[in-house]
Amino acid sequence: MSEPEHVKAVKAKLRDTVARLLGPPGDLLELRRLTAGATKATWAFTAQIGDTQQALILQTSIVSSRPEGTAAKSDDAKTAPAKLPTLAGEDDAAMMLVAGKAGVPVPQVRAVLTADCGLGEGCIMDFVPGETIARRILREPRFAALHENFAQQCGEILARIHAMDQASLSFLMPLDGARQIALYRDVYDSYDLPVPALEVAFRWAEDHLPAVARSTVVHGDFRMGNLICGEQRIHAVLDWELACVGDPMQDLGWLCVKTWRFGGVDAVGGIGHREDLFAAYERASGIAVNPAHVRFWEGWGCVRWAIICLIKGLAHRSDPAQRTVEAFAIGRRMEEPLFDFLEFLREEKAAKVCGYR
Amino acid sequence: MPISLASAPDLLAVVREFLETDVVEDPSISDDKRFQIRVAINLLATVERELRLGPAANTAEEDRLTALVGAEGSLEEKNRRLSGAIRDGAVASDDPQLLDHLYRTLVDALRINNPKWLGG
């Protein structure tokens, strides 16, 4: 079977890049595109470097990031859809380097791509063995031991992420709750698509935003699917492009959003309990977790995912490369989190009536 | 249109079945492609459900919207009016009639887009 042209092109450039940045000869013994990741192209490959064959990952951005990491609101917002700020290239790699130093399990970054590589923005990392596909992690019996302490590990890892040094990550956008809600509302407004359920959701978020006690580095997309899992432990935290500086509790809430349970029953990625997540976070960080505060971010997480579905579903309007079955299918998923949000409101109301909050 | 064989729903179904039985299981297909074919199969099934359930869902949604914001205009215009009313506070965002409407609308949409999301 002959290789498609775009694979051949990547192969030639990648070989030269490996030889130059990691060491000669750089011959590729295997190159395959991985399915995971809708905003990034991820390739797994094995390269001959000196006497050794090394398993590596090439990650390149598909979505171009905003210049200078500026806020989404701009004068052209009426004609072009507003975008979420995303990290790419060097900044994404810098996140992983700093995270690694803070004790967060991340792939070792081996080289950051430069313009003359011709591969776009991105980096080359060590291949981390394990599983990211949630369906398998939830259902295959070999992950039983992981299920036992998944929530606890997430709590410990998040505590380390939230202790990462902000000073060395000056490119991170400050995005407290109010700014985040305003940013996502701007994105929604820029599509000029009336969705009454989103109007209710934004109103709720603005009315219920908790006062913030702390502002830390936030991963922004810490969830099942973005974690490489072994049978016992989480081996690596991926997908740092939505990182920002803000309320750390949003990472705990996002992790519990129903979409990221992938059909599992339990709140934390479908396989762990909130209580274990909170207890481990408190032990590791020394900071108390207010469950009602996290719960806000879980509700907001539904809204946020709905907006991301909207962005992906309509991305083809401004970017022909997004005219894919996958992107269109994500657009059709917008009602899932909106339905979950209404269920969330019902649960909150019932909880209030029962007087526990 | 004169009678054409087969009907649109049957055409969609037969294409979907072809992809399901003959294409997706082909061992020479890469994992990446196989994933995309599975997504395409799901999209065809979505269109099949929309052809079946869409008209009644739209009618029901429009009737509820009329009760909330009046009969004038298209379905989209009514949604625009309701969205504006929620935003400027003319309709309270915790109004039970509004929430009931949104819930029914989302349930009907999920019956088309992803019935499994509703459970049971």
The overall average pLDDT reported for chain A is 90
Least CA distance to B89: which residue of chain A? A203
pLDDT score of A79: 60
The answer to whether the Cβ–Cβ distance between A332 and B46 falls below 8 Å is yes
> Is the model's pLDDT at B18 over the cut of 70?
yes
pLDDT score of A357: 47
**How many A/B residue pairs have CB atoms within 8 Å?**
86
The residue-averaged pLDDT of A287-306 equals 97
Report the distance separating Cα A150 and Cα A169, nearest Å.
28
Of A33, A200, A333, the CB nearest to B102: A200
Strand partners, A47: A28, A54
pLDDT score of A2: 58
pLDDT tens digits, residue range B45-104? 999 999 999 999 999 999 999 999 999 999 999 999 999 999 999 999 999 999 999 999
Share above pLDDT 90 across residues of chain A, in percent, rounded to a whole number: 76
Distance from CA of B33 to the nearest CA of A (A): 8
pLDDT score of A295: 97
Strand partners, A41: A60
pLDDT score of A60: 86
Q: Furthest-apart CA pair in chain A: how many Å?
A: 69
> Is the model's pLDDT at A69 over the cut of 70?
no
Distance from CA of B5 to the nearest CA of A (A): 27
pLDDT score of A10: 86
Q: What sections of A89-133 are H helices per DSSP?
A: 89-101
- Chain A residues with CB under 8 Å of B36 CB are 324-326
Please state, in angstroms and as integers, the Cα–Cα distance from residue A357 to each residue in A206, A292, A293, A301, A350, following that order.
19, 8, 11, 20, 10
The residue-averaged pLDDT of A237-261 equals 97
> Is the model's pLDDT at A63 over the cut of 70?
no
pLDDT tens digits, residue range A150-205? 999 999 999 999 999 999 999 999 999 999 999 999 999 999 999 999 999 999 99
The residue-averaged pLDDT of A80-109 equals 90
The overall average pLDDT reported for chain B is 95
Q: 3-class SS at B81?
A: helix
Better-scored residue on pLDDT, A10 or A220 = A220
Share above pLDDT 70 across residues of chain B, in percent, rounded to a whole number: 99
pLDDT score of A38: 52
Report the distance separating Cα A117 and Cα A62, nearest Å.
16
B93 and chain A: CB distance < 8 Å anywhere?
yes
ipTM for the complex?
A: 0.96
pLDDT score of B120: 61
The residue-averaged pLDDT of B15-40 equals 93
- Is residue A98 within 8 Å of residue A165, measured between CB atoms? yes
> Is the model's pLDDT at A71 over the cut of 70?
no
pLDDT tens digits, residue range A102-144? 999 999 999 999 989 988 889 999 999 999 999 999 999 999 9
Phi, psi at residue A127, to the nearest 5°?
Answer: -70, 130
Least CA distance to A262: which residue of chain B? B117
Least CA distance to B80: which residue of chain A? A194
The residue-averaged pLDDT of A95-101 equals 95
Type of residue at B52: R
> Is the model's pLDDT at A73 over the cut of 60?
no
Strands (E) in A12-156, as ranges, are: 25-33, 40-49, 52-61, 109-112, 122-126
The answer to whether the Cβ–Cβ distance between B99 and A196 falls below 8 Å is no
> Is the model's pLDDT at A64 over the cut of 70?
no
pLDDT score of B83: 98
The answer to whether the Cβ–Cβ distance between A32 and B109 falls below 8 Å is no
The two tokens of residue A272 are 């762990």
pLDDT score of B57: 98
